Amino acid sequence: MGRDPMTAVDLKAFIRDIPDFPKKGILFRDITPLLGAPPAMQEVERRFVEAWKSQNLNAVAGVESRGFIFGTMVARGLQIPFIPIRKQGKLPWTRLSESYALEYGEGVLEAHDDAARPGDRVVIMDDLLATGGTAAASARLIERLGAHVVGFGFVVELGFLGGRKRLGNTPVVSLINYE
């Protein structure tokens, strides 16, 4: 029987577990071994491009900073523009801002006010889906630009944290899921 092309490379084998980082009791899922393995990165790109190629997208948005890595490769693979979603104060042009709750305080994300056009179909990419706060804020920001969020893409999902629930019915593609 032939090998399923969607599982040709075991991406989970490229994730390093680091106990007690950044603080005791946390098991950190480190993607740097994946970033250092060109065949794994090619597989990540292939899987995301395959997942989104039939969605008539106008752009891919990536959340600072690791979302830039995966978002730009998917945008290149689909031959569509990339939209950077950055932390507050990093963008030079006129911009929209969106606040969201963090564990101890508040974060602010921004995008240029001309990053997307009304009616654009956008997928939002990041490396990790945990509680969903950053992804949900990114979606609100894209929607405030007048665009439609078609879906989310994550390399790793920490399913036990329930972040997917905060994203409503919008499709989520996660390549590695830790329940």
Catalytic positions? 66, 103
Map tokens 């629930």 to a residue: 165
Contact between residue 119 and residue 152 where contact means Cβ atoms under 8 Å apart: no
> What is the Cα–Cα distance from 169 to 51, expressed in whole angstroms?
17
- Nearest of 112, 152, 116, 150 to residue 134 by alpha carbon: 152
> What is the Cα–Cα distance from 81 to 61, expressed in whole angstroms?
9
> What is the Cα–Cα distance from 139 to 37, expressed in whole angstroms?
30
Q: How many residues in the chain?
A: 179
Assess whether the previous peptide bond of 138 is cis (omega < 30° from 0).
no
> What is the Cα–Cα distance from 96 to 6, expressed in whole angstroms?
37
What is the Cα Rg of the chain in Å? 16
